[in-house]
A and B are shown apart, each in its own frame.
Chain A
């Protein structure tokens, strides 16, 4: 287990380093960042001054190394637009996005697992068809459009929920539904196939033959085993949600990290964009690392194979 954990952690670190290189080089695929920062009316001397001030005149490898050292200690540079520390900005906005992500994944699991179990118990029944329909819809419904339709329906016509903002829990209801709905289909399908597989095993037949009550067989024996892969999928989906939060937070003006991403991208605030890519990726890497370790601990076949 320790060898596996070590190997897996080294992989995670390597991935994180590569991602940091990519997000760092993003700054350089654009035109000269010094020119971009100085603005259109700047003279050559101004540009040169900025180049020296920010160290853009040094070799790129040196710059990357400096940036990485700072980033490792939590210093992601200063935002061009907000004129504050990027790490501070992200730390300020992240709780909102985390709350949204957590609500959304709970919503997704709450919707998907019961439907997945129900459709596995009775394949091709009405419930199975409804859940298939829901997941096919989820693949094709553009999230931004779904969000707008919800706004028209619940905020404008029924006046149940506020349109935008992030002050009360009501502000989180629609974003949660939109974001969570897209994570549900994958979880639902995995629960269904997992349950179908487990229900056909010998130990379930034994449990039934012993005369155990069906709910006990279903939840204590079957679901417990079928749910293991769902845990790691949910972790992956939670990571993807941060990316999806950009669209959702922008539409609902929810002041989280996703909204910050949109703000900084439209304002060409590259240090913030860089920092956010790094933060989102790191979060995903850590999440999948934890999920893999939990899985390996639960299932010895993974850590040996």
Chain B
């Protein structure tokens, strides 16, 4: 009886904290995401030039690492003589706005459908599962392109369309998480003491699925950012002169053979942002639910 093993209890929060600090991917991802968010917020302060100012005499100036480049335009200028770095900086606002906006809309739709399906089951579940199947059988890019072409491309339209199309993963994950929570004893207890369904959903179910919700939201932000870039690249997303990164690649495409940096710079920015948002999302899943790895 004397040599009982010492029980060292770590609080859940400190456990998560140490897992976060040890998770390399998540550290890299969150650093870059924070950096991009700061750049987006502080854009007017850090952009060296007006991103819309055209200077036709200084068209297609190469970036500073090229022998012809100058420090005046660190990333050079585009086909209308606009400062590329400033456009890149302002472009981060569009990517983040669309990613967060679309994920917010699809998150609300998907969470509502998923939680309803998981909690009530039966007919409700059948209808929601059916809706998810319908949604999955429609090609996202094609439908999004068609709607944008009909309604007309703008920031709001792109956010709305992507928001209405990307809710499937939210619904699938929320449904299965709610299904697990529903059979927990504390939910039965809440029902036994006569809590209303709304109250059970808001105070018992939601707090327990919110971890998964945040992870999916992060991954969907990345998804929406990359889709917006593709739509804008095809000319049916955000419209010029807005500095969307996808649009910048599209505008530089015609000159990519002679001035390859026109497409490499916005492409690398897009890649880095999507990669780090994904790393952050994957990291959060590993940290909050280590058993879900693989």
Which residue numbers of A lie inside 8 Å of B, CB to CB? 11, 14-16, 18-19, 22-23, 26, 29-30, 136-137, 139-145, 148-149, 151-152, 156, 189, 192-193, 196, 239-240, 242-244, 246-247, 250, 261-262, 265-266, 268, 270, 273, 276-277, 280-281, 284-285, 288
Contact = CB atoms under 8 A, between A and B. Distances in A.
Between B134, B139, B267, B278, the greatest number of chain A beta carbons within 10 A of the residue's beta carbon is seen for: B139
Closest 3 A/B residue pairs (Cβ) = A243-B139, A140-B275, A145-B267
B139 A145 contact: no
A81 to B, nearest CB: 13
B222 interface: yes
B136 to A, nearest CB: 8
B236 A15 contact: no
A140 B270 CA distance: 8
B260 interface: yes
Contacts of A15: 130, 133-134, 137
Given A148-B253, A148-B263, A152-B256, A265 B145 contact: yes
Contacts of B138: 19, 22-23, 277, 280-281
Interface string B135-152: 011111111011101110
A30 B142 contact: no
Nearest to B232: A144
B234 A250 contact: yes
Interface string B253-283: 1001100100110010011001100110010
A22 B142 CA distance: 13
Nearest to B257: A156
Contact of A246 (B145, B149, B256): B145
Contact of A266 (B222, B236, B256, B257): B236
Contact of B145 (A19, A141, A262): A262
Contacts of A240: 139
A18 B141 contact: no
Contact of B279 (A136, A148, A277): A136
Given A19-B138, A277-B142, A281-B138, A152 B257 contact: yes
Interface residues on B, range: 35 or more
Interface of B: 130, 133-134, 136-143, 145-147, 149-151, 222, 226, 229-230, 233-236, 246, 249, 253, 256-257, 260, 263-264, 267, 270-271, 274-275, 278-279, 282, 294
Given A136-B279, A144-B233, A281 B151 contact: no
B293 to A, nearest CB: 10
21 contacts: A14-B130, A15-B137, A23-B138, A140-B271, A142-B246, A144-B234, A145-B270, A152-B256, A156-B257, A192-B294, A243-B142, A246-B139, A246-B234, A247-B141, A262-B234, A268-B149, A270-B150, A273-B146, A277-B146, A281-B137, A284-B136
B139 A281 contact: yes
B137 A244 contact: no
A216 to B, nearest CB: 26
Contacts of A273: 142, 146, 149
A281 B137 CA distance: 5
Nearest to B227: A142
A266 B235 contact: yes
B150 A29 contact: yes
A302 B149 CA distance: 42
Q: Which of B137, B151, B257 has the most CB of A within 10 A?
A: B137
A46 B142 CA distance: 31
Residue of A23, A243, A270, A285 most packed against chain B (CB within 10 A): A243
A22 B257 CA distance: 42
A18 B137 CA distance: 10
Given A243-B139, A247-B141, A284-B139, A142 B260 contact: no
Contacts of B257: 152, 156
A246 B141 contact: yes
Contacts of A281: 137-139
A142 B230 CA distance: 7
Nearest to B126: A11
Given A142-B233, A152-B256, 12 more contacts: A15-B130, A29-B147, A140-B222, A145-B271, A149-B264, A243-B140, A250-B234, A261-B142, A266-B236, A268-B150, A277-B143, A280-B142
